[in-house]
Structure 1
Amino acid sequence: MEIQFTLNKKQVTAEVGPDTVLLGVLRDLGCKSVKCGCETTNCGLCTVWIDGKSRLSCSVLAASVGGHEITTLEGVEEEAAEFGRFLAAEGGEQCGFCSPGFIMNVLAMKRELEDPDLEEIKEYLAGNLCRCTGYMSQLRAIQKYMAAQKEKDGKEALA
């Protein structure tokens, strides 16, 4: 069946089967940031936004996204690069394999939670697995990024 949806602000059409998962369709459309790490919805590598909400593309049937808006890391490159600088400064980028899904969730968290504490951050990101690290460098990067964003938003409100 043919479906149409918005991918990173562009209208796209894809031919999908009834059991085709969104992950494969997105990769076929060139979104290589969307990765398969577990096929069991446990790692977060395939995180995308569907209508602005984080979802695991390995668990979403492609046929269900017709008419919806899908955002991948390719669609938020500037914002992702800004957080990436914080991640690199704290040594939290490690091998980078898990980074796209992780970054998508951090950016979603920034939109959804106002001034989250460490426990809220941990809970929000509980579904993102990193095989390289103990997470502390990533948590420091998130806290510094969130603080910088809050300061930036405050300055913009005053302007």
Structure 2
Amino acid sequence: MFEPKRRAEQEPARKNNVIELPRERLEENRRPKYSRWKMLSTVLSFLIVAGMAGTYIYGQVQLAELSDSLGTVTKQLSEDQSVYTQMNMKSEAQTSLEAVENYAADKLGMEKINQKQVKNIALSSGDKTQILLPVKNDGWFSRLLNSVRRFLS
């Protein structure tokens, strides 16, 4: 009886973890709602930037392909110019004066001119030329002029 009473073991009291905020702070902490117009402008901006980047990349690819084809064409041009120069030299060698003389002497049996082959021809003294004009019956004055012209020529 005189002993102290035992206390009944009690569970420790739990602390309330709920924090109550005033309405103004509650509105500030809420997740923001996205406006449709803001989302649309953001998506359009992204698409425009992506399109510009894609166009730039496509242009660079086209530029690289054109550079490669230009290099190929330039190489082909230099090769063709070399072939043209070779053919032109062959052509000039075949049509040179010495080649023609050799061909004429070897193949055709011709020989260079010498004094035995030269013959002088004497022509009659004074060559005359005669110009024939069609006869027109214009009158006595034109006939007079024509006769004076013939006399002076």
TM-score strictly above 0.5: no
User: Which structure has the highest helix share of the two?
Assistant: 2
Which interval holds the TM-score relative to the shorter structure? under 0.3
* Higher relative contact order, structure no. (Cα contacts within 8 Å, ≥ 6 residues apart): 1
> Greater CA radius of gyration, 1 or 2?
2
Q: TM-score, normalised by structure 1?
A: 0.14
User: Which structure has the highest strand share of the two?
Assistant: 1
Q: TM-score, normalised by structure 2?
A: 0.15
